[in-house]
Structure 1
Amino acid sequence: MAWVDILGDAVDKVFDTSLVERNGTVVPTSDDVTNSQAVKLDAVFLYADLAATAKLTKVCPWETTAKIIRAYLDCATRLIRAYGGEIRSFDGDRVMGVFLGKRRHTEASFCAREIFYTVEHILGPKATSKFQSIRNNSIKLKNCVGIDTGDARAVRAGIRNHNDLIWIGRPPSLAAKLSDVRNYPSCVYISSECYSRLADDGKVSGTIDIWTKRSFEFAGEARTVYSTHYTKKP
C-alpha cells in the first residue's frame, strides 16, 4: 500500500471517529483518555518559555545551552508542582502546567512571578558566573510566562505507543501565545479572565497594583491582557 493511501486512510479514520465528551475533575493523563474521548476541564493553563534560546545555541557550546535549558525547566517544573499544578507538556525550552482548585488563578500567577524571579536572581546570575560564553556574549537570560483560564478539551493524538494528549481551546492556545511575548521586564502575562479572578493578594504587592492593562492580538482580534514586571521570591 502506497504512503499516500496509508495517510489518506489515517485522515479518514480520524475524521470519522466520533468524540464523546466527558467532564473532568482532575487533570487527565494520556492513559485516562481513549481515542474516542474528549475530557472537558475548566482550568488555568500556564506556559513558561525561556527566551532567546536560538542565540544560546548559536554562541554557546551545546553543553552550556543544554544545561541552561534543563535548569530552567527543572526550576519551572518544581514551582508549578509546588503550587499544585500538573505538568502536561514539554516543548523544547517551554513547559505547560495545568492548575485546578479554588485559588488556581492566584496560585498560577504567584508561580509565574516566582519563575520570573528564578530567572532574574538565580538562573541568570549563576549562568553568568559559571559559563564564559554567557559572559563573553553579554547574554542576559530572560523568560516569559503566559496564563489563561477557561474550558479546554484534552484529546489523545498520535499512533499506538507514540501518542500524547493535546489541549483544544482558547486557554492553552492564548497562554502559549502570551509566553511568546518579548517585552522585558514585563515577563508575566495573564488574560483578563484570569485577572478578574485573582484574589486581592494576587493583584497587589503591598499597596501597589502590580498589573498593567494591555491590548494583545490573538486569533485576529484585540484582547485585553495584563502584564507585570514584579517578581515574587520563592
Structure 2
Amino acid sequence: MSTVSYRDVVDWLISARHPVDNPEGWMTECCERMVEAGLPLWRVGVFIRTLHPEVFGRNFIWTRGVAGIQMGTVDFEIQTTPEFQASPLSIVFSDVVEVRGNPHGPEAERFPVLLDLRNEGATDYLALPLHFLDGTLHAMSVSTRQPGGFDPDHVAALRVIIEPLARIIEIISLRRTAEMLLDTYVGNSAGARILGGQIRRGHNDTMQAAIWLSDLRGFTALSDRLPAETVVEILNHYFDCQVAAIRGHGGEVLKFMGDGLLAVFPIDEYVGDAAHVCARVLEAARESRASVEALAFPVGDVVERFRFGVALHVGNILYGNIGGGNRLDFTCIGPAVNLAARLEKIAGRLGRTVVASEGFAKVCRHDWHELGEFPIAGFSKAQRVYGLREETPAVTA
C-alpha cells in the first residue's frame, strides 16, 4: 500500500516548489504523484486556451509508461470542426460541467474519442473544467484502464486536487503567455532577455550582428490610392514574404516601421561564424526577393505587384532598453544600424533589390558587383556599395 495520500498531492501542489520554466517535467511529476497516491490514471490531458494571434490552444498529454509529454497546438478553426463539436471537451467549454463517459457504454457512439480510448484499453473517461482566477475556462481529461473504471473515491479525489492544480497550471500558462507575447511583439531573443530581468532603461549589451533593413518600394503612392484596410492586408502579406525567411535562417525581427523591417542575425565572435551567418542572411534575402516577386494582390480589376529593397551590413550594435519614463523599447542602435538605413535608400536610387556594405561583402564571399562609392550622411568617408551581379537594376523614376 502506498504511503502517499491525496492530501500529500494537494500539499505538494500548494508548496510553491514548481519549476515554471519546465512545465513538461512538472506535469510528469504531478501525474506520477497522483498515481502513487492511488489514482489509477492511464492518460491525463490538459487543454489550455492561449493568448496568441495564431494559436487557439495548446494540449499536453501524459500517458503512463510513456516517456515525456506529448504536446500540440490547435488554431482558431478547431472550434468549428466536427471532431471538436463531437468531443466531450466542447461540452466542458460550452456548459462548464464535468463530462464522464464509459468507452464501453452507449455514450461511445456519441463521442468518437471514447471509441479510440476503448481500442487502446481504456475503461473510463472524465473531463473536468479548469477555472483560472482571471475568469477563463480551460479543461483537463483523465482516463483509466482499471477494470470498472474510476470509483467514487477516485472522482472525489480528482475534484479536490483539481483546484490547486488549476492554480499551478495558471501560473505556468501565464508564464508561457508572457513568453509568446514577447516573442510575437519584440522577438525571441529580446523576449528572453526581458523575462530574464533586463527591464530597466540602460540594460543593454554590445553585440556583433549582420543587419537587415528593408522597405517596400512605392509604399507612399500605394497608401495614397488604396483604402487603409487594403494597405494593411498588403503589408501583412509582404512581411510574410520576409519573416519566414529571416527566422528560418537564424535572424530575429526586431521592428516593423511602416513598410520598413529591421532584423538582426547575431554573430558569435568566439566561434568565429561571421561568414556562415552572413551567407545565411544572403540566402534569406534571395528567398524574400523571390517571394515578393511572386506576390500578386488583386485589387478590383487590377493585380498589384511589388518590389522591395534590402540593405545588408555587419557590425557592432547596442542592443537593449531604450525609451523614456516607463515606456521602453527593446531595440538596437549604433552607427552600423544607421549605415544600413542609408544603404537601403541607396538601393532604392539604384533600382536594386539587394545591396551590401563593403564590410558585409568582404565577410560573405560571393560574386558581388561593386556599384561605386557614395557619400553617406553622418559618415566622414564615402562608402563602397555592392550589389548582386545576378540582378538587373529596375528602372527608377
Residue 104, structure 1, aligned to residue 277, structure 2: yes
SS in 2 for 1:84: coil
- Which residue in the other structure is 1:148 paired with? 313
Measure the CA separation in 2 of the matches of 1:162 and 1:230: 45
**Conserved 8 A contact 1:106-1:198:** yes
- Which residue in the other structure is 1:44 paired with? 210
- Which residue in the other structure is 1:117 paired with? 290
Measure the CA separation in 2 of the matches of 1:88 and 1:42: 15
Q: CA deviation at 1:85?
A: 0.3
Aligned length: 190
- Aligned-partner residue type, residue 334 of structure 2: G
**Conserved 8 A contact 1:27-1:41:** no
Question: TM-score normalised to the size of structure 2?
Answer: 0.44
Matches within 5 A, 1:72-221: 72-101=238-267, 102=273, 103-120=276-293, 122-123=294-295, 126-127=296-297, 130-132=298-300, 134-135=302-303, 140-159=305-324, 162-180=327-345, 181-183=347-349, 185-199=351-365, 203=366, 209-218=367-376, 219-220=378-379, 221=381
Measure the CA separation in 2 of the matches of 1:194 and 1:161: 36
Distance 1:57 1:91, change over 3 A: same
What do the CA deviations read for 1:157-207 (whole angstroms, capped 9, x no partner)?
A: 2245532123222221111222233146421111111100114xxx1xxxx
Q: Percent identity?
A: 24
Measure the CA separation in 2 of the matches of 1:167 and 1:133: 42
- Which residue in the other structure is 1:8 paired with? none
Question: TM-score normalised to the size of structure 1?
Answer: 0.72
- Aligned-partner residue type, residue 112 of structure 1: A
Structure with the bigger RCO (C-alpha within 8 Å, sep 6+) is: 1
Measure the CA separation in 2 of the matches of 1:191 and 1:133: 41
Measure the CA separation in 2 of the matches of 1:229 and 1:133: 36
- Which residue in the other structure is 1:23 paired with? none
**Which of 356, 376, 388 is residue 228 of structure 1 equivalent to?**
388
Higher mean alpha-carbon deviation, 160-169 vs 45-54, is at 160-169
Q: CA deviation at 1:58?
A: 1.3
What do the CA deviations read for 1:49-82 (whole angstroms, capped 9, x no partner)?
A: 1111111111122222111111111221111001
Q: CA deviation at 1:27?
A: 4.8
- Aligned-partner residue type, residue 40 of structure 1: T
**Conserved 8 A contact 2:361-2:368:** no
Q: CA deviation at 1:37?
A: 2.6
Larger of the two Rg values belongs to structure:
2
Measure the CA separation in 2 of the matches of 1:228 and 1:134: 31
Q: Which runs of 5+ in 1 are unaligned?
A: 1-25, 204-208
Measure the CA separation in 2 of the matches of 1:63 and 1:162: 28
Matches within 5 A, 1:52-71: 52-71=218-237
Distance 1:147 1:115, change over 3 A: same
Q: CA deviation at 1:155?
A: 3.3
Structure 1 moving runs of 4+ over 4 Å: none
Distance 1:134 1:49, change over 3 A: farther
SS in 1 for 2:209: strand
